[in-house]
Amino acid sequence: MGASSTEPLSPGALAEGRPDSRGPRFRVVVETGPDARRELLLEGTLLVGTQVEGGLQLSDPTVSRVHLELQARPEGVRVRDVGSRNGTWSLGVRIHEVTVAGEARFSLGKTTLLVVPEASDDAGALTPRTAFGRALGQSAAMQRLFGVLERTARSSFSVLLLGETGTGKELLAEALHQHSPRAAKPFVIVDCGAVVPSLIESELFGHAKGSFTGAHADRQGHLVNAHGGTVFLDEVGELPLELQPKLLRVLESGTVRRVGDNATRDVDVRVVAATHRDLKAEVAAGRFRADLYYRLAVVPVRVPALRERAEDIPLLARHLFEQAGHPDFPLTDALVQRLVGYDWPGNVRELRNFVHRVLAAGDVDLPDAQPVSTVTAPRDLSGLTFKEAKEQLVEAFTREYLTVLLVKCDNNISEVARTAGLARSHVHGLLHRYGLKAGG
């Protein structure tokens, strides 16, 4: 969703799966400013300013007479600045027009508005399930997640899956595609973190023969290969900053141009992206474009870590043993208790590796159950792919680095942020992710 876009995806994409016309209900809350604590239900179109009749009239002198237009739509809320003097800001970036489907904050002068979805009356109406595609879970957290994704799948709006590595984001993206009107079309995976940065543009958009050294033949990019279907941008937070506006242009225009080619080609894709990074913090730090973030995060969804849904571990373990050809493996009460007591820093991927190690070597040892704040280095990388090994090493390094830095900085988060060269909000996100606690 770009700063000047009126729709979260291209017209071709919208035609394939427009959501239920009733859409979600939203509430607008004045969080800060002279009119703080005012709130109202958003129905239809709402004008915001100091001189609006029948809208949200504010007394903040730094707000324009007619500053902002909010419009409830099936896909969310369209937020449009109508030529204000001081602008409308979100995540430190001036916004002209965006569509949001989840909670979002906007600054108008000295006033902050919160747009938040209201709980649906039929939130619990979906039949409980233990699977969504190949993703499994019977916990309350996964039931909520499956419900959101099932409803979202019927549309063509972009989805951003947020969560730690190893939580199954790729399986959820695949399930979204399978439950969508595009299920018969291609599902194409692009691992933005595993492609050499200099080749990502060619991977995404394709290239013409002779456009650079090694381009011995024409190549169609992943976006063209996914035409009519879904493209899954895994680890989209690793996308180089200089390539981000080019991807945004493709998503907004619905056309793609290969490297070294002047001709454009229409492309209609539904985008599902995933990242383990805090993209809002990345936007604040200038490492990710706000307009591309909004384009990708029409429906942002957080995937819980395995330690947050420990009741799913026995179900997952049995499935993994069955998948490996050993459905009768004896999962004793003692072993289940140990599995549930471990914090699984590598999430479902680490549980899968444990199952494979048990079957290959009979090794049922686990690190002692410990609080999440304890540093756990990877045990054995020999059975992992390069990407998996790299992810585990990075996870272990990050946890240990933050633990040591907290001690050095006497638990002062501001000092940790200055020492690490990170935004304070990013440090907060990392500490929450690794279960580390600090004051200050």
Residue-wise pLDDT tens digits, 60-94:
999 999 999 999 887 788 899 998 999 999 887 88
H/E run at residue 141: helix 140-153
CA distance 67 to 86: 9
Q: β-pairing, 111-117 with 26-32?
A: antiparallel
Closest by Cα among 429, 426, 427, 402 to 413: 427
What average pLDDT does this structure show over 376-391?
A: 66
CA–CA distance from 241 to each of 6, 10, 293, 322, 395 (Å)? 24, 22, 12, 43, 23
**pLDDT greater at residue 27 or residue 194:** 27
Q: What is the pLDDT of residue 234?
A: 92
CA–CA distance from 357 to each of 114, 324, 380, 384, 389 (Å)? 49, 11, 10, 11, 15
DSSP state of 248: H
DSSP state of 25: -
| pLDDT-derived band at 319, boundaries 50, 70, 90 | very high
Structure tokens at 46: 């709402």
Answer whether residue 268 shows pLDDT above 80: yes
Answer whether residue 314 shows pLDDT above 80: yes
Let me know: does 284 contact 92? Beta carbons within 8 Å: yes
CA distance 1 to 260: 26
- Could you give the count of Cα atoms lying within 13 Å of 281 in the half-sphere of its Cβ? 16
Please state at what angle helix 413-420 crosses helix 386-408, rounded to 10 degrees: 130
Q: Given the structure tokens 């633990």, which residue do they identify?
A: 403
> Which residues, in sequence order, are CB contacts of 268 under 8 Å at separation 6+?
10, 12, 13, 16, 227, 228, 254
What average pLDDT does this structure show over 111-140?
A: 76
Rg (CA), the chain: 23
Answer whether residue 332 shows pLDDT above 50: yes
Alpha-helical regions (H) of 285-346: 290-296, 313-323, 333-341
Q: What is the pLDDT of residue 334?
A: 87
Task: Please indicate, yes or no, whether the overall pTM of this predicted structure exceeds 0.85.
Answer: no
Structure tokens at 397: 């390094």
Instruction: Determine how many CB atoms are found less than 10 A away from the CB of residue 408.
Output: 12
Let me know: does 246 contact 205? Beta carbons within 8 Å: yes
Answer whether residue 230 shows pLDDT above 70: yes
Q: What is the pLDDT of residue 21?
A: 41
CA distance 331 to 11: 51
Judged by DSSP in three states, 41 sits in: strand
**pLDDT greater at residue 316 or residue 116:** 316
Percent of the chain with pLDDT over 90: 32
Q: What is the pLDDT of residue 440?
A: 41
114: β partners: 29, 105
Answer whether residue 6 shows pLDDT above 50: no
CA–CA distance from 145 to each of 89, 136, 150, 296, 301 (Å)? 30, 11, 9, 18, 8
What average pLDDT does this structure show over 150-159?
A: 87
Closest by Cα among 78, 70, 79, 82 to 41: 70
User: E-assigned strands of 263-419?
Assistant: 264-266, 270-275, 299-302
Q: Given the structure tokens 């006033």, which residue do they identify?
A: 111
Average pLDDT, the chain: 81
Q: What is the pLDDT of residue 211?
A: 63
Q: Given the structure tokens 């004045």, which residue do they identify?
A: 30
Q: What is the pLDDT of residue 374?
A: 42
CA distance 136 to 146: 9
| pLDDT-derived band at 59, boundaries 50, 70, 90 | very high
Q: What is the pLDDT of residue 370?
A: 41
Q: What is the pLDDT of residue 180?
A: 92
Comparing 1-10, 40-49, 59-68, 327-336, the range with the smallest average pLDDT is 1-10
Judged by DSSP in three states, 256 sits in: strand
For CA atoms 156, 160, 163, 168, the dihedral sign is positive
H/E run at residue 218: none
**pLDDT greater at residue 358 or residue 198:** 358
80: β partners: 69, 97
CA distance 252 to 231: 15
Q: What is the pLDDT of residue 184?
A: 94
CA–CA distance from 158 to each of 13, 45, 201 (Å)? 10, 23, 20
What average pLDDT does this structure show over 158-187?
A: 94
Comparing 207-211, 338-342, 351-355, the range with the smallest average pLDDT is 207-211
| pLDDT-derived band at 2, boundaries 50, 70, 90 | very low
Answer whether residue 8 shows pLDDT above 60: no
